[in-house]
A and B are shown apart, each in its own frame.
Chain A
Amino acid sequence: MRCLIIAEHDGQNLNTATARAVAAASQLGVEAIDVAVLAHGGQALAEQAAILEGVSQVLLLDREENAHPLAAVLAPQIAALAEGYSHLFMPSTTFGKDVLPRVAALMGLPQISDLMTVKGPHHFERPVYAGNAIIELQCPPEQPVLATVRTASFKPVGTGDAAPIETRALEIDLPGHTRFVALEADAGDRPDLQSAERVVSGGRGLGSEENFRLVEQLADKLHAAVGASRAAVDAGYAPNDLQVGQTGKIIAPELYIALGISGAIQHLTGIKDAGTIVAINKDPDAPIFEVADLGLVGDLFEIVPQLLEKLD
């Protein structure tokens, strides 16, 4: 049995989601874990993948069409690469969620989304109903397992000796019907929400985009990433990529501070694996207090300035 993992990157750096997928693969008991890097000018990326602990080999598919992660372009290449592997994993990020189902359909195979526990090489768990239920799955051993890995469930592997890098060229025609136009990324220098040790999130309780600055100030003081509830994103207080929850990012920081967030189930599913959850909310009955390790009932506009002062 061998597992292939498709690396996630932004053209310059591998995302920690890749190291988390390797961690999940390490629990399968397979003979080899290979990582494929599909990129344009990807030698440095391949070198980053090669030093991930437990990786046997890196396959580099360097071609111009791979400059941007377009599912329709990547999927046929991945389906061809996956030949002979018993497992094909991608992280359960918007990248993996976009690409892997397309690969699965090309291969005529089912896919497991958000794999959270490895119980055996063909035996897994995943959440459904916004994390309100966990299902245990037994997959047919004779067919390859395709899965996206729920990143919050696995700690990234470390680094070690470099594995060999093999450059592959595939003779496949790629479609031109899908074209990259632009990426509007938040170029802030705060820690990345998905890998940060600390996260401060704000909800509708902040009341305005200006007030949302309070969340950012507290985050900066704690060297934390900034998150938001859907209501805060919908209201335009924060950009979409900061949304935490069922349809946003699933995160597992050591410290999560929720400011003016009620704690709807769709939000809570995104923070279940956090180490310590702190809730600051003026409503003592807010459901967030049912999961918070530390709760403080009160007006965030009084509490946060005090926190900022005392943290100086």
Chain B
Amino acid sequence: MKILVALKRVVDYNVRIQVKPDGSGVAVEGAKMSINPFDEIALEEALRLKEADKAEEVIVVSIGPEAAQQQLRTGLAMGADRAILVQSDEAVSPLHAARILHTLVQAEQPGLVLLGKQAIDDDSNQTGQMLAALWGRPQATFASKVALEGETATVTREVDAGLETIAVDLPAVITSDLRLNEPRFVKLPDIMKAKRKPLDIRPLEELGVTPPPACQIVRWRAPEPRQAGHKVETVDELLTALKERGVL
């Protein structure tokens, strides 16, 4: 079985995001870029399945600029077998990304597609579900545990009510939550080895995917700042202040 893992190149989660004064976007030029943290977890899960002899090949895929090769190389260094970059200088919407991934899925015929539950730049939380719909296959989102047995995956999902377990027939789409695993660190020799692994670059135009209708972003703004209040010295002062505010 092949496993396809989607890796998005995003601004590292430690970078403080600032909206540009003219409202045209966020100032992230030169910022540190990383694999979306959820995608790293998705890849780790794929690698563990391969190490447990549940899969033969792990393919990492990214849709993004030429520079997204860096994130794919990191994925190869973590242990993926090969990589595909669908090159696009424009950001793609979740439905567009799902359509692109769907064409790759049709070509590669994986038994499992793993994605992050959400990209930490657009915070959409959509692409995996959309891919599952287009493919007509099951989805198991927000996974915190995955067990493969024959043609079925039993997945524990982090939902608002607690932990839900569902069983899905393969092939299926799974999206990772934070507690699925802790991704491994990349070691230097693996980085060297990764340089020789195949990385296939395909221009987006060549895939023949129609971009879906989209909403236009007309303006970016900073959130309303929350004013820092004041510090109190004692528990009594705290209780008085809470009573004054009418919340106790």
Interface size on B, residues (CB 8 A): 83
- If over half of B's interface residues share one DSSP class (helix, strand or loop), that class is named, otherwise mixed; here it is mixed
B160 x A249 contact (CB < 8 A): yes
- Which of A40-48, A51-59, A207-215, A289-297 sits within the interface? A289-297
Contact of A72 among B131, B132, B248 (CB under 8 A): B132
Q: Does B149 contact A (CB under 8 A)?
A: no
The distance in angstroms between the C-alpha atoms of A211 and B86, with both chains bound, is 49
If A110-B214, A178-B166, A294-B232 touch, whether A132 touches B132 (CB-CB below 8 Å) is no
B133 x A98 contact (CB < 8 A): no
If A105-B134, A135-B219 touch, whether A111 touches B126 (CB-CB below 8 Å) is yes
Q: Which residues of B contact A106 (CB under 8 A)?
A: 133
For chain A, which range describes its interface: under 10, 10 to 19, 20 to 34, or 35 or more residues? 35 or more
Q: Choose among B26, B118, B130, B133 the residue with the greatest number of A CB atoms under 10 Å from its CB.
A: B133
The distance in angstroms between the C-alpha atoms of A199 and B162, with both chains bound, is 18
A137 x B123 contact (CB < 8 A): no
If A110-B212, A135-B217 touch, whether A101 touches B130 (CB-CB below 8 Å) is yes
Contact of B219 among A70, A72, A94, A136 (CB under 8 A): A136
Q: Does B179 contact A (CB under 8 A)?
A: yes
Q: Which residues of A contact B127 (CB under 8 A)?
A: 101
Q: Does B188 contact A (CB under 8 A)?
A: no
Q: Does B230 contact A (CB under 8 A)?
A: yes
A181 x B165 contact (CB < 8 A): yes
The distance in angstroms between the C-alpha atoms of A104 and B125, with both chains bound, is 13
Interface contacts (Cβ under 8 Å), in number, total 249
B231 x A289 contact (CB < 8 A): yes
B125 x A113 contact (CB < 8 A): yes
A138 x B215 contact (CB < 8 A): yes
Q: Which residues of A contact B129 (CB under 8 A)?
A: 71, 98-102, 105
Complex A-B: 27 CB contacts under 8 Å: A70-B166, A94-B142, A97-B125, A97-B141, A98-B141, A101-B129, A102-B132, A104-B95, A105-B130, A127-B223, A128-B122, A129-B121, A130-B17, A136-B217, A136-B221, A138-B215, A178-B166, A180-B166, A181-B167, A222-B248, A240-B162, A246-B123, A247-B118, A255-B248, A266-B13, A278-B242, A310-B239
List the interface of chain B (C-beta within 8 A of A). Answer: 11, 13, 16-19, 26, 93-95, 98, 117-118, 120-134, 136-142, 144, 154, 157-169, 172, 177-179, 212-223, 226, 228-236, 238-239, 241-242, 245, 247-248
